[in-house]
Chains A and B, each alone.
Chain A
């Protein structure tokens, strides 16, 4: 058979698979397939390649195909060991989803809480006495309570190095170090990096940068994210921004699981 004939045969196979043949051509082609086992095999292979090698498609196999291999895999998957692993993975997955879905809910409430807080803050604006907020800052701020990598055994030498700088009061160095580290930090490390970064900026009185770091912390979708609200609250107390204090307090008070919820409640009472 000449190459041109081979090409024409391949193209007819493709046209049959893509259903671009006329009804008559299709019927004739199917008749030929009944008589020609090789053609039938060629069609099956071409169909398989066109489906499986197409990034938008997938070739499904039937249970009747290669039963021996199917049984082998099925038996392995049903083994006691794999069933236990499967259960454990699902459990960890459920825990993970429960843990990370919370901040989403908070973000939703944040908008509602923020609007309520604006209303409340307008009416209570004059109730604050001058300098009171900074006094509360002094009372509540404790920048040494950030979780320690060493104590928590995060196994993070690189992280611990930044922590040591912070504890040595080398705040500029801490900020530089963690700012750089943030670029490559994993999802797991990110909240801790942001806590130290924000705390270092606070110590350096670079409050805008500190607020940015804590804002990012609230968006980390981790269990530590609600700390971001508390740290933002501290800075607004320091800056005596009453409206912001009210807004953030309202967000923290929405969920008892939020970091320092009881302290926020206490502060709200004091501010009344």
Chain B
């Protein structure tokens, strides 16, 4: 059975088994492939999928989501839950900023807040010019100035430095002028 995004969401919050089953049948295989290809195991897939669905339920109950594609949104949330799991694992191994042991609901609430912060950053990022988005995307993903000169066809390193500075300043200004900023960065 094919459902629309609002039907999936209302089916989820009303606990409609048929809808939940359709979500598993339709979307679980793609998430499974992604996680298994990114250092995960079968049990991880189940946990990630469960957390992502609970995230959607909580989010939808707070404020109804307007989604163009349920599949794309669910997949992004699953990917982020998995990014987070890998980060926690990494911190455990390196013993760097080892996360405090917390119960399941606290952990999912923390993910919720982290996702909110990311959504806020992305919202402001999307308001930038295409050129700024391109250069900052490289900057945030760890490219050096020299690599950016080559990849983005800039004349000199100095031009890249100035562009990064200006674009980042613009993004920060957009963030700080939003009243949600204080709450998200407290």
Contacts and interface: CB of A to CB of B under 8 A. Distances in A.
B117 interface: yes
Given A6-B165, A57-B87, A187 B29 contact: yes
Contacts of B186: 65-66
A92 B24 CA distance: 8
B102 A63 contact: yes
A169 interface: no
Of listed A54, A86, A89, residue having the most chain B CB within 10 A? A89
Nearest to A7: B165
B71 to A, nearest CB: 11
Q: How large is the interface on B (under 10, 10 to 19, 20 to 34, 35 or more residues)?
A: 35 or more
A154 B161 contact: no
Contacts of A77: 54, 58, 105, 108-109
B117 A59 contact: yes
Main secondary structure of the interface of A (DSSP, over half): helix
Interface stretch (A28-36, A42-50, A193-201, A263-271): A42-50
Contacts of B170: none
B49 to A, nearest CB: 6
A106 B118 CA distance: 43
A84 B136 CA distance: 43
Of listed B50, B87, B109, residue having the most chain A CB within 10 A? B109
Contact of A93 (B24, B84, B118, B140): B24
Given A86-B54, A93-B24, A188-B22, A61 B140 contact: no
A73 to B, nearest CB: 4
Main secondary structure of the interface of B (DSSP, over half): helix
B110 A70 contact: yes
Contact of B109 (A52, A73, A86, A186): A73
A11 B158 CA distance: 12
Interface residues of A, number: 52
Nearest to A46: B168
Contact of B110 (A54, A60, A86): A60
A119 interface: no
Contacts, number: 146
B110 A63 contact: yes
Contacts of A73: 58, 108-109, 112-113
Nearest to B19: A92
Contacts of B121: 49, 52-53
A24 B83 CA distance: 34
Interface in B160-179: 161-162, 165, 168, 172
Contacts of B21: 92, 95-96
Interface string A118-138: 000000000000000000000
B53 interface: yes
A159 B13 CA distance: 29
Of listed A52, A77, A155, residue having the most chain B CB within 10 A? A77
A45 B172 contact: yes
A188 B50 contact: no
Contact of B114 (A6, A60, A76, A96): A60
Contacts of A56: 83, 141
A8 to B, nearest CB: 9
Given A7-B161, A58-B84, A73-B112, A48 B57 contact: no
B100 A55 contact: no
Nearest to B118: A52
Nearest to B106: A74
B41 interface: no
Contacts of B150: none
Contacts of B113: 61, 65-66, 69-70, 73
Shortest Cβ-Cβ A-B pairs, 5 listed: A73-B109, A53-B140, A96-B24, A58-B87, A77-B105
24 contacts: A3-B162, A45-B172, A49-B121, A49-B140, A52-B121, A53-B118, A56-B141, A57-B87, A58-B80, A59-B114, A60-B91, A62-B100, A63-B102, A66-B113, A74-B106, A84-B15, A88-B17, A88-B20, A90-B50, A93-B28, A96-B21, A96-B24, A97-B42, A156-B1
